[in-house]
Amino acid sequence: MTAIRRIQRELAQLEASPIVGVSVTPDESNLFNWAGTIKPSSESPYKGGTYKFTLVFPENFPFKAPNVKFTTKIYHPGINEQGEICVTLLKDDWKPSISVVTILNTIAEKINNPSPDDPFEPEIAQQLKEDKPKFLQTAKEWVKKYAS
């Protein structure tokens, strides 16, 4: 099966070149399901937190993008209440040549540097634009409340 071989190759690539602050663990009984964590950088508004996510590969991977969802609540303009992440790479811009390393680097970058552009949560994006100190304060409170 093409998907399994590709997933195994992606996993080997991650083991050979780990991403700083990101870890993934495949489900031993189902290689299509991975659990992961991101520990943001010290410059991130989310520093000090650990954010859990799931990465689920479709049966027709790599022709269809994996589904990435945060299970830890995060006050972020690009991640909604359900943990879905707004990354065009996983939607409109998906190509079979995109690696899991690229996906995870993109998500880690999004956590380390939240942007008000192309938001999933317009109110949070507006606050980031117009009242950054308040945004940073709320993000920090959520880190303590949900990600510590």
pLDDT digits (tens, 9 = 90+) for 46-61: 999 999 999 999 999 9
Confidence of residue 102 (pLDDT cuts 50, 70, 90): very high
Q: Which residue has the higher pLDDT, 52 or 120?
A: 52
pLDDT at res. 92? 87
pTM for the full model? 0.93
Summarize the confidence of residues 78-84 as an average pLDDT.
95
The catalytic residue among 3, 31, 86, 98 is 86
Summarize the confidence of residues 61-69 as an average pLDDT.
96
Q: Which CATH number fits domain 2-147: 3.30.70.3270, 3.40.50.80, 3.30.470.20, 3.10.110.10?
A: 3.10.110.10
Confidence of residue 69 (pLDDT cuts 50, 70, 90): very high
pLDDT at res. 2? 87
pLDDT at res. 118? 78
Active-site annotation holds for 86: yes
Mean pLDDT of the chain: 95
Q: How far is CA 138 from the centre of its chain?
A: 20
Q: Using CA atoms, how far apart are residues 143 and 51, in angstroms rounded to an integer?
A: 9
Summarize the confidence of residues 124-129 as an average pLDDT.
97
Q: Using CA atoms, how far apart are residues 132 and 130, in angstroms rounded to an integer?
A: 6
Q: How far is CA 98 from the centre of its chain?
A: 15
